Structures are given as structure tokens and as C-alpha cells.
């Protein structure tokens, strides 16, 4: 695992908090049905959340992954009404987040745009153990996630999952060729069919598509950079210009993490 490791949901919560647009908490069961969420952690007066056009998203538990629009709020009962029915009522396993300035889609797109802006200059460590040696075969397809390789190690015993430094293949006995292949040096490396190879290298941070996808980039920088990708019209209409300008300054100095000095670049 890299120096940083945060799931998409955590980064989104950091981002929404940075622009004062994040309310989240645990739902309950009192009075809840398929169109009403019991939300005892909310405290604003009647109709506040519908008048402010809040969106509600379930990020954990029953109805996980479903986004709705708030159409009514009654403080005395702690019930949020949503615009259409859930498949089942939210309950105590349901954790929800509410946003009014930006949508869930706005936040997730901004995070991916920030990732994309730095992916080639901040490389993530990658380890792959899926390559299985085959008798008399000296060329193997590399994982799509790997862009540099600096170390190749042979499994100590087949199916053991054990790799010793002493079993590292001499760098002179392998090289990378097109398209995306590892080539072992015939006559110098002895293949034992069934053993796996452990490939160590670096790759790009992948774009994230689900709440549980892991992001291995510096979160402080990522959040500030993501702010600069949020919709400009919403930034201006919600008096977030100072927050936006501050984010531009804080994200101007991009972190860097280059490939291992001994690495070979994957040939596409």
C-alpha cells in the first residue's frame, strides 16, 4: 500500500466539507417508509432542506448508491420526504449525505479530473503476482495497470506465494518489449512451469467509479485541485470565489513521484 490511501467517498466528504456543502449521518427506523427517511441528526426548521433543494445520497447500508431529491422536511418527526420511492425503507444501516450546492456527480467528476491532471507525474507503486510461467515460453503480457517495472522475482515454490530477494531475476536477463510484454532472456533464465512471477513497478492512479475505489494521491492537494474543477456557475452563485482562488494557490505546486531509478518503461 502506498503512503496515501483513501476511498472515493472519503475524498468526496473532504471536498464537500471544504466548500461548506456536507451533511452526513446515520438514518433510523422511526416513521421511515419507502418515501421517508428518519434523520435525527438534522436540526433545521420545517421545509429547510426541500426549500434549499437538497440532494440526499445513501452511501452505506440499505439503499446504498441511490440518490434522491428532498421534497419535504418536518423537524418534529425528523422525517425527510424524497421525490420517489426506494425499493425498501432506509433503516439504521443506512448512512446518508446531503448536498445543496453541488451534486454527487459534480463532486465525483471533479475528483476524477483532479486525478487525471496529475496521474502521469505522481506514480503509484504496483505489485502484480498474476503471471504464471509456462514451459518454453519467454514472453508474457504485462498488467494493464503497470507503466514501469524495476524488479522481477520468481516464486520460491509453485503455489507458495513466497518470494525471496535471492530469487530476483537479474535485470540483464529480462527486458520490456512491445506490445506491453515482459521478455525473459532465453538461455540465461531457466523457466519452471507453474511458478509465478512477482512484478514490481509503478503505474498511474486509476480513475474512480465507486465509493470504495482507492485513491493513493495526497488528499490535501487532491481536494484543493478538485475544487478548481467544480462547476464555475455554482461557485460564483454561492459566493465561493475566495474558496476557489485559495484552491488555485494551494494546488499550484503539484506533488511529484517519479518511477524507480532502475525501472524500465513499459513499451506500448
Instruction: Write out pLDDT tens, residues 97-138.
Output: 999 999 999 999 999 999 999 999 999 999 999 999 999 999
Please name the residues in contact with 9: beta carbons below 8 A apart, sequence gap of 6 or more: 59, 211, 212
149 with 244, same domain?
no
Within 10 A of 155 (CB to CB), how many other CB atoms are there? 22
* Per-residue DSSP letter, 224: H
Percentage of the residues of the chain whose pLDDT score is greater than 70 = 99
Q: Are 266 and 147 in contact (CB under 8 A)?
A: yes
User: What does the alpha-carbon distance between residue 128 and residue 147 come to, in Å, rounded to a whole number?
Assistant: 12
**237 occurs within a structural domain:** yes
119 with 227, same domain?
yes
155 with 190, same domain?
yes
pLDDT average, residue stretch 168-196 = 97
**10 occurs within a structural domain:** yes
94 with 141, same domain?
no
Q: What is the pLDDT of residue 3?
A: 84
pTM given for the model: 0.92
- Torsion region of 107: left, alpha or beta (phi above 0 gives left; psi -120 to 50 gives alpha): alpha
As separate numbers, helices (DSSP H) first and strands (DSSP E) second, the chain gives 6, 16
**1 occurs within a structural domain:** yes
148 with 193, same domain?
yes
Count how many domains the chain has: 3
Task: Answer yes or no: is pLDDT of 244 > 90.
Answer: yes
**193 occurs within a structural domain:** yes
Instruction: Write out pLDDT tens, residues 145-179.
Output: 999 999 999 999 999 999 999 999 999 999 999 99
Angle between helical axes of 104-118 and 219-227 (0-180°, round to 10): 120
Distances 182 to 18, 48, 123, 141 between C-alpha atoms, Å: 44, 60, 20, 6
* Per-residue DSSP letter, 45: P
User: What does the alpha-carbon distance between residue 106 and residue 67 come to, in Å, rounded to a whole number?
Assistant: 13
Task: Answer yes or no: is pLDDT of 76 > 60.
Answer: yes
**231 occurs within a structural domain:** yes
Percentage of the residues of the chain whose pLDDT score is greater than 90 = 99
246 with 116, same domain?
yes
Full domain range(s) for residue 93: 22-100
147 with 57, same domain?
no
Asked whether the bond before 179 is cis by omega within 30 degrees of 0, the reply is: yes
**223 occurs within a structural domain:** yes
Task: Answer yes or no: is pLDDT of 1 > 70.
Answer: no
Amino acid at each position: 500500500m502506498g503512503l496515501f490511501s483513501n476511498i472515493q467517498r472519503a475524498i468526496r466528504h473532504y471536498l464537500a466539507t471544504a466548500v461548506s456543502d456536507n451533511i452526513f449521518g446515520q438514518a433510523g427506523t422511526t416513521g421511515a417508509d419507502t418515501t421517508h427517511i428518519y434523520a435525527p441528526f438534522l436540526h433545521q426548521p420545517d421545509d429547510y432542506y426541500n426549500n434549499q433543494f437538497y440532494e440526499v445520497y445513501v452511501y452505506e447500508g440499505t439503499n446504498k448508491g441511490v440518490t434522491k431529491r428532498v421534497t419535504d422536511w418536518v423537524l418534529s418527526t425528523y422525517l425527510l420526504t424524497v421525490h420517489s420511492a426506494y425499493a425498501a425503507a432506509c433503516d439504521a444501516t443506512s448512512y446518508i449525505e446531503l448536498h445543496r450546492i453541488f451534486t454527487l456527480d459534480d463532486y465525483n467528476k471533479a475528483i476524477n479530473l483532479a486525478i487525471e491532471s496529475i496521474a502521469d507525474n505522481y506514480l503509484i507503486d504496483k505489485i502484480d503476482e498474476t503471471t504464471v510461467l509456462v514451459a518454453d515460453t519467454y514472453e508474457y503480457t504485462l498488467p494493464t495497470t503497470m507503466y514501469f517495472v524495476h524488479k522481477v522475482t520468481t516464486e520460491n515454490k509453485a503455489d507458495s506465494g513466497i518470494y525471496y530477494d535471492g530469487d530476483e531475476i537479474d535485470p540483464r536477463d529480462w527486458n520490456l518489449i512491445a506490445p506491453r510484454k515482459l521478455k525473459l532472456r532465453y538461455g540465461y533464465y531457466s523457466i519452471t512451469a507453474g511458478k509465478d512471477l512477482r512484478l514490481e513497478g509503478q503505474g498511474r492512479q486509476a480513475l474512480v467509479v465507486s465509493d470504495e475505489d482507492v485513491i493513493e494521491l495526497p488528499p490535501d492537494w487532491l481536494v484543493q485541485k478538485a475544487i478548481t474543477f467544480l462547476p464555475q456557475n455554482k461557485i460564483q452563485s454561492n459566493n465561493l470565489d475566495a474558496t476557489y482562488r485559495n484552491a488555485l494557490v494551494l494546488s499550484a505546486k503539484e506533488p511529484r513521484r517519479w518511477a524507480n531509478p532502475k525501472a524500465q518503461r513499459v513499451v506500448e
